[in-house]
Amino acid sequence: MTQHPTQSPQFFLTAPSPCPYLEGQFERKVFTHLVGDKAPELNDLLTQGGFRRSQNIAYRPACETCRACVSVRILAQEFGPTKNMKRIMKRNADLIGTAHDAEPSTEQYALFRSYLDARHRRGGMSDMTVLDYAMMVEDTHVDTKVIEYRRRGPDSFITGRGEGPLMAVALTDQMADGLSMVYSFYDPAFEDRSLGTFMILDHIRRAVAAGLPHVYLGYWVNGARKMAYKVRFKPQEHLGPNGWDRYD
């Protein structure tokens, strides 16, 4: 793997390409590499500045004519669930999430493929192979965990682990000021459980338990319906020209 200096990271700009969220728009991204001993510190700083991580790359939008992408982070310590969110937590009370080191498995990939085939058949990740998935999980130089969600078993209160088939997975970076949800997916057969929402609620719970102030959700894209869920978790902050602004 090519090594890059971490004291003074180099930033690069991608060529314009069609936006995957807004029809008729073109996106550009500025990015740098996250490698070496300083990668965790750099990832913290860049995430706080609106970047996202994908493998060993940190990137953020740098579009010429559009500012629809807005970085969102939940104020975990102040969060209060809505009535619907409380119902979702109750509906999934039989699940437990177990954090593992960032190591891929065939079971994870099988669930990942089922999720993509059901929810994102035409998306940019639809042709990812098992090797691509393995790289997505393990190509990280920061503190990354894979959280696997399974049903609670009779020994879960002792072991802290669920049992049975894998139902949902979250790839999560643990940062100095919060948790950053890099990617998550779930069994599409359990659509009625609202597992995507449940995993965000579980990350808020984890952040609160760890005394961390934030859960980073990535970008809310104003005008993109499939991103609208991100603004439901309030209070939260949006990154603007003058820094992070509260959004209730």
Residue 82 lies in a domain: yes
Confidence of residue 151 (pLDDT cuts 50, 70, 90): very high
Domain-embedded: residue 193? yes
Domain count of the fold of the chain: 2
Same domain assignment for residues 58 and 78:
no
Could you list the residue range(s) of the whole structural domain that residue 233 is in? 73-247
| Residues 60 and 150 occupy one common structural domain | no
Same-domain status, 108 and 56: no
- For 112-141, the pLDDT digits (tens) are 999 999 976 665 677 899 999 999 999 999
Percent of the chain predicted with pLDDT > 70? 95
Same domain, 25 and 148: no
pLDDT of residue 1: 44
Mean pLDDT of 68-86: 97
Q: Do 126 and 230 fall within a single domain?
A: yes
Shared domain for 57 and 174, answered yes or no, is no
Is the CB of residue 55 less than 8 Å from the CB of residue 139? yes
Is it the case that residue 5 has pLDDT exceeding 50?
no
Same domain, 91 and 148: yes
Q: What type of residue is 239?
A: L
Check whether residue 149 and residue 51 sit in a common domain.
Answer: no
Q: Which CATH number is 193's domain given? A: 3.40.630.30
Kindly state whether residue 49 falls inside one of the protein's structural domains. yes
Query: 64 and 80 share a domain?
Result: no
pLDDT for the residue 161: 84
Dist. CA 66–CA 211, nearest whole Å: 36
Domain-ending residue, one of 23, 51, 69: 69
Return the HEC string of the chain.
CCCCCCCCCCCEECCCEECCCCCCCEECEEEEECCCCCHHHHHHHHHHCCCEEECCEEEEECCCCCCCEEEEEEEHHHCCCCHHHHHHHHHCCCEEEEEEECCCCHHHHHHHHHHHHHHCCCCCCCCCCHHHHHHHHHCCCCCEEEEEEEECCCCHHHHCCCEEEEEEEEEEEEECCEEEEEEEEECHHHHHHCHHHHHHHHHHHHHHHCCCCEEEEEEEECCCHHHHHHHHCCCEEEEECCEEEEEC
206 and 123 inside one domain: yes
Q: Please give the biggest Cα pair distance in the chain.
A: 56
